[in-house]
Structure 1
């Protein structure tokens, strides 16, 4: 059997768009991915649908897989002839133990490549408005582990060298040892008034910062109950933050949005929300199987509603395959979302949203096997959709680490599929959405939410991305800035 190959990939610091091109290419060809807690799980959606996903997350008090087991598993999967990706948060060479993994692969004579990533020690400060070097404030920069493998976990560092020779110091995952760090820096000559900032979940929309000095930061951290994952940055360059902070000024910064998803791929709506500074979790993840399509009396309907952009393509593939003259279809076309409208537009058809669809006339809904979109309609099933169950535990972990404050239903079809997905996760929709702002894209969607027994807090003026962003800006959640 031919030996496979392992890619040891840096996933970047959190923002899914910060992965390298080469890292993303590795994920797209992977047959097995072993991923860490700090690698953004959204990256896994770029993997092939049949890719095996193995969680290797580590917390201070427990390890899902120990490092020795990870080393052996990488070699084992590659020796089966598979393309394996080891996906690690930040850069694999910066406290990522990539040296141990690479040495184990070399021992087993398994081919491998190391793909660098953006380190959180540089990226998190930049997202907080702090360059780690500056000609007037900092000519040197160091990344330092804030704990070691000793019983006490306190790092044995050249404190004097750090104080004398380094202007900006980034300590990784050191919240628990913060008093020890501050005491040693002051004891070895660092001024007690030196600025310190902690950056939690850097580059995510949930990013939080806490600023102080070596003298008072430990007390502030205790009072704020600040925790890892966080970068501790020490140095006078932090003073630049007041002038060049940018990420926290984005319109949707602080929004942690749960977006109901009906299609297989990531939505353009999610991308737009992220570009405005929000954290977005799309749920659930679906996989589809195309079905043979019998068009029947499709020419006789007054209205045809396409439930998804995929359904548009599946419908016209069937029309072309059957040799039907599209001009004989007299129906007006409608889309369940703006994505469906755009898919029809690409094929030369002007369509309107479901919100603008008149009540009168016969209706055919084209889409997958979800028949909860609209009552009193006929359905043309073009594909069978089912939950991608391997993503359910991933979603549960994402929810545990997030603090969702906004729920967005983009269309009526999303309501049933969302609640179905939650049931598979043993999550109660009412409990999950308690104290969460629920936003609906259009009246039909609002009606579907209320039929499901959920409370809708409002909706934008129109079912467009722009209108949604404007609505969220004008209607902040409790606790937002």
Structure 2
């Protein structure tokens, strides 16, 4: 067994779309990922199923892995012959201690690459509507760590050079030292009326901002209980925010959505919600295990009047099985239906014009194609072809916990009736008391069948969009929150 390779990857500031192409390619080939707190955990969903995930995140009041331990883990895993990804929030070279990690690898003659990332000191201001340089306001820009190894964690800086020589200053993770920062800048010549903006969770849907001046921002931050992770941006360029703020104007900005997952693939619904400004946590994460082909059903496929697919994956698995067994798809004369819009789209990509389950009439010989019997209990006379089994990936439970700790979920979306029971079961297994949790959030179902499943479990639903489409869901979520009812249909 030879030595592996380590990729020291910048994950970007938070928005999943801001990781580099090279960084994402590295994640997709990983055998081990050692990730930080500020690297968006959603990036881990691009890793292979058998990838080992290790949390090395650091909080101000405690360390999960100290830097020397992180170095040791990188060396040990690479010596096992594995491809190791060190996933670090922002850019690894900007207060990311990548130099220490690279030195440790070099000392052991372990090959490595450093993949730059977008640093939050530039990205967070841009998402708040502020370029860090501007021909009329700022010709210089600097980044500063606002806590270091000095006594009491107060940064020892050349305050005179910062105050007089820099137009725009981005302080990283410095909310605790904000009074100290403001006092020193003013004492060394920065005007007290200089604009300051705090940007918390920059580029996430939960991004928050607080504006003031060097004279009053510390008091405002204390009153608002503003906390890290945050960028403190100092400079007159901050005045541009009123004109060019864009991210916080997205229709779903501030929505923190927990989306019930029914498959292990990428969710187009989740991507659309994020495009519209929401934070989306998908739960649970699934693993798929292939099942043997049902030879009897395959031999009589032309005898069915209706075929219902329970997931997009079941579509792929069904038609792959037909192809591998030399079955002509023209033998399929049945009307095709899907449990969800995503399943419908998978059928459309193959040239069919399917219908949603709500449009399916009674009667006729029926086949259900899917990954479990839970969805077909109501179709007692139907035949069932189990194309695969799904299993909740419990490795992601700890990751889900950290995402929930950092978020403040205000919306739960069930994309299909098949998503309700597995989601509730997984939440309970995770240790969340479902009824009390859902009581304080908006619960949305994509269609009457879905809301019926919510009601059947005795839960309160908030409502549903006019159509079971991602566009209709976005429109619904931009409206007022309705009162909850047991069924709300």
Aligned counterparts, 1:166-185, within 5 A: 166-185=166-185
Structure 2 gaps of 5+ residues are 484-489
1-side partners of 2:188 and 2:88: how far apart? 34
Cα 1:476/1:217, change in 2 over 3 Å: farther
- Aligned partners of 1:16 and 1:42 also within 8 Å: yes
> 1:360, CA displacement in angstroms?
3.4
**1:205 matched to which residue of 2?**
205
Which range is displaced more, 69-78 or 336-345?
336-345
**1:317 matched to which residue of 2?**
320
Cα 1:373/1:422, change in 2 over 3 Å: farther
Candidates 372, 375, 388, aligned match of 2:375: 372
**1:262 matched to which residue of 2?**
262
1-side partners of 2:462 and 2:376: how far apart? 21
1-side partners of 2:326 and 2:46: how far apart? 35
**1:132 matched to which residue of 2?**
132
Aligned counterparts, 1:143-292, within 5 A: 143-292=143-292
1-side partners of 2:105 and 2:198: how far apart? 36
2:408 corresponds to 1:419: no
2:397 corresponds to 1:392: yes
2-side partners of 1:307 and 1:350: how far apart? 16
What secondary structure, in the 3-state scheme, does the structure 1 residue paired with 2:478 have? helix
> 1:370, CA displacement in angstroms?
4.8
1-side partners of 2:241 and 2:254: how far apart? 18
2-side partners of 1:447 and 1:107: how far apart? 61
**2:305 matched to which residue of 1?**
302
Deviations 1:355-377 (A, max 9, x none): 21123344332110252355134
- Aligned partners of 1:163 and 1:190 also within 8 Å: yes
What secondary structure, in the 3-state scheme, does the structure 1 residue paired with 2:375 have? coil
**1:355 matched to which residue of 2?**
358
Aligned counterparts, 1:2-21, within 5 A: 2-21=2-21
- Aligned partners of 1:130 and 1:237 also within 8 Å: yes
What secondary structure, in the 3-state scheme, does the structure 2 residue paired with 1:232 have? strand
Cα 1:170/1:108, change in 2 over 3 Å: same
> 1:241, CA displacement in angstroms?
0.2
Cα 1:383/1:57, change in 2 over 3 Å: same
**2:486 matched to which residue of 1?**
none
> 1:420, CA displacement in angstroms?
2.1
**1:404 matched to which residue of 2?**
409
> 1:474, CA displacement in angstroms?
1.9
Which range is displaced more, 294-303 or 117-126?
294-303
Aligned counterparts, 1:104-115, within 5 A: 104-115=104-115
Cα 1:330/1:374, change in 2 over 3 Å: farther
1-side partners of 2:474 and 2:229: how far apart? 29
What secondary structure, in the 3-state scheme, does the structure 1 residue paired with 2:221 have? helix
- Aligned partners of 2:301 and 2:331 also within 8 Å: no
Aligned counterparts, 1:442-453, within 5 A: 442-453=447-458
Candidates 466, 469, 475, aligned match of 2:480: 475
> 1:428, CA displacement in angstroms?
1.8
> 1:51, CA displacement in angstroms?
0.6
**1:332 matched to which residue of 2?**
335
TM-score (norm: length of structure 2): 0.95
What secondary structure, in the 3-state scheme, does the structure 2 residue paired with 1:419 have? helix
2:318 corresponds to 1:342: no
Cα 1:459/1:151, change in 2 over 3 Å: same
- Aligned partners of 1:373 and 1:412 also within 8 Å: no
2-side partners of 1:114 and 1:321: how far apart? 43
Candidates 460, 466, 472, aligned match of 1:461: 466
Cα 1:350/1:25, change in 2 over 3 Å: same
What secondary structure, in the 3-state scheme, does the structure 1 residue paired with 2:336 have? strand
What secondary structure, in the 3-state scheme, does the structure 2 residue paired with 1:364 have? strand
Deviations 1:307-363 (A, max 9, x none): 111101111222233333444444211011112112111222110011211233443
What secondary structure, in the 3-state scheme, does the structure 1 residue paired with 2:204 have? coil
Aligned counterparts, 1:113-128, within 5 A: 113-128=113-128
> 1:425, CA displacement in angstroms?
1.2
1-side partners of 2:170 and 2:432: how far apart? 38
- Aligned partners of 1:405 and 1:477 also within 8 Å: no
> 1:10, CA displacement in angstroms?
0.3
> 1:299, CA displacement in angstroms?
3.9
2-side partners of 1:57 and 1:257: how far apart? 24
Cα 1:326/1:112, change in 2 over 3 Å: closer
Cα 1:395/1:18, change in 2 over 3 Å: same
Cα 1:421/1:370, change in 2 over 3 Å: farther
Structure 1 gaps of 5+ residues are none
- Aligned partners of 2:306 and 2:336 also within 8 Å: yes
Candidates 415, 436, 444, aligned match of 1:439: 444
2-side partners of 1:424 and 1:450: how far apart? 21
**2:487 matched to which residue of 1?**
none
Deviations 1:256-300 (A, max 9, x none): 111111011120011111111111111111010111121425444
- Aligned partners of 1:287 and 1:386 also within 8 Å: yes
Aligned length: 478
What secondary structure, in the 3-state scheme, does the structure 2 residue paired with 1:113 have? strand
1-side partners of 2:202 and 2:142: how far apart? 18
- Aligned partners of 2:465 and 2:476 also within 8 Å: yes
